[in-house]
Amino acid sequence: MQATRIPNAQNEITTTCLTYLSFDAFSQGPCQSEKDLESMVQHNVLFDYSARYWGDHARGQVEEDCKAAIQKFLQDDSKVACASQLPLV
């Protein structure tokens, strides 16, 4: 039923998460300390959600639909490293 209300919701969420994770704020790579990581999470309110769940939204046809955005994000090693450290906290 929700798919009929917002037919491209998963595409939009995936793209929004990847766009957010591609901001320059995350280009320095992983934080040097847990304190720095906590500060980053506090100052970037969508960072936690985007880093943890963009892949959950990018399943099935959404993965194909968002392929360009996914590839662009995954090609930036620093931003991927920054986003990848979060689930470890």
pLDDT band at 1 (very low <50, low <70, confident <90, very high): very low
Alpha helices in 8-76 (DSSP H): 9-21, 34-43, 47-57, 61-65, 67-74
- pLDDT value for 5: 80
- pLDDT value for 89: 45
In the chain, where the domains are located = 2-88
- pLDDT value for 86: 78
- What is the residue type of 74? L
Evaluate whether 33 touches 88 at the Cβ level (below 8 Å): no
What does pTM read for this prediction?
0.87
Give the tens place of pLDDT for each residue, 20-73: 999 999 999 999 999 999 999 999 999 999 999 999 999 999 999 999 999 999
